[in-house]
Chains A and B, each alone.
Chain A
């Protein structure tokens, strides 16, 4: 009992330290890559994308209950998305970041219009009305709605696979993004493995019985998140052209558990 309790406390401090190191790594990049108003949109897009990757890495780390094949791949797929986006954006940052923003604003405008159409059918509460007004203001502070086109296609004008090819990370797309997409989109080759249990009764034709099983946390998923965070930083540093002397959160994590 005492040993088990000690192990739990060690894991907590391990994860807390990991989260703090991720934060340090992010801050070191932002320090080495200050904003420049000549292209502030690049800093805002790529910087916030990097910060999101840090958030995902930390939040996966802090919730061991998510370290299983049912949930972790959803978040890891999101991390793969961020990685490919950053790698692709940084090939031609100014033009691509502008396109990224414009696409996002168009989607926000479309979402707002759908909400308006829905809410037109019933009376708005003051809270609903305030939320929609705030959302519209968020768009309008960046681009007047009447000037904002809405793109219903892909934000980059390319498939993620094409983006990965251009960004020279097609292996990452094939081996990480695509497999984890099965879980994120609940495709047959995910649910068939994770949410069906084969009945062994020959009289039942070995059918699959739907199940929602409990899962033990698997450290493997934490290490994958740490790996993708480190990979993102590596690509960011190379493309932006900075060198950062900062202890690697992933290296520290690996050292602590090995």
Chain B
């Protein structure tokens, strides 16, 4: 009697392929990459929070995106979380909008996003800056580098707060309704992350929801389709040489 245990016994064989149970049930999924796409798209939020802390950061971002939504009826339903979304707004218009709120949040927003304006000429929010050349400061690049390095861990505190802010912008734009019993209904608990079980559950829901909203099809309200994510990673290759440990 053959007593050999078959490996991957839970997989379904279709011709020469062993299909995972998940793929067999749900079909092949089109996945969106946290690293490739979401980090570049949400980096501006990360920089604001890194510069001004979570609470003030959310204030700046919320006020700014309110004003963007209010600036044109076509923009009222857009969730202004992914940087690539801002490409549709004429450069001068965005700058004037921020100029008009310099004291409320404009100066702070510019201060936070200066590293992108300096080192990443293709960032869609660079238009909030005037044509004046910004002197390159290596500390700014070091800041971007440190944030990106940390954000490779998607469940780190900072990355979680940035993702929570993106979801907050979806709620704020009134584009997301959640059932009262769902984890996301406990959204404010994210402030306790990662100390409480509830905050960790909410963080997991935030990550899962972002995957859907950055995904494909009609539900993908955060997808910008911008070339910015590719440009971001390509620019990194130009800015610093490869590094190899060992």
Contacts and interface: CB of A to CB of B under 8 A. Distances in A.
A150 B18 contact: yes
Contacts of A35: 234, 237
The interface residues of chain B, by DSSP majority, are classed as mixed
Contact of A117 (B5, B21, B23): B5
Nearest to A154: B16
B16 A151 contact: yes
Contacts of B132: none
A113 B16 contact: no
Interface string A129-168: 0000000000000000011111111000000000000000
Interface size class of B (residues with CB under 8 A): 20 to 34
Contacts of A108: none
Contact of A114 (B7, B11, B21, B29): B7
Interface of B: 5, 7-8, 11, 15-23, 29, 31, 36, 227, 229-230, 233-234, 237
Contacts of A153: 15-17
B8 A113 contact: yes
B230 to A, nearest CB: 5
B29 A147 contact: yes
The interface residues of chain A, by DSSP majority, are classed as helix
A116 B36 CA distance: 32
Contact of A152 (B16, B23, B29, B237): B16
Contacts of A40: 233
A147 B20 contact: yes
Contacts of A109: 8
B7 A149 contact: no
Contacts of A150: 8, 11, 17-18
B205 to A, nearest CB: 18
A158 B39 CA distance: 37
B38 to A, nearest CB: 14
Interface in A31-68: 34-38, 40
A149 B234 contact: no
Contact of A149 (B5, B19, B237): B19
A114 B5 CA distance: 10
A37 B8 contact: no
A191 interface: no
Nearest to A112: B7
A218 B99 CA distance: 77
Given A35-B234, A37-B237, 7 more contacts: A37-B230, A37-B233, A113-B7, A147-B20, A149-B18, A151-B17, A151-B18
A152 B234 CA distance: 35
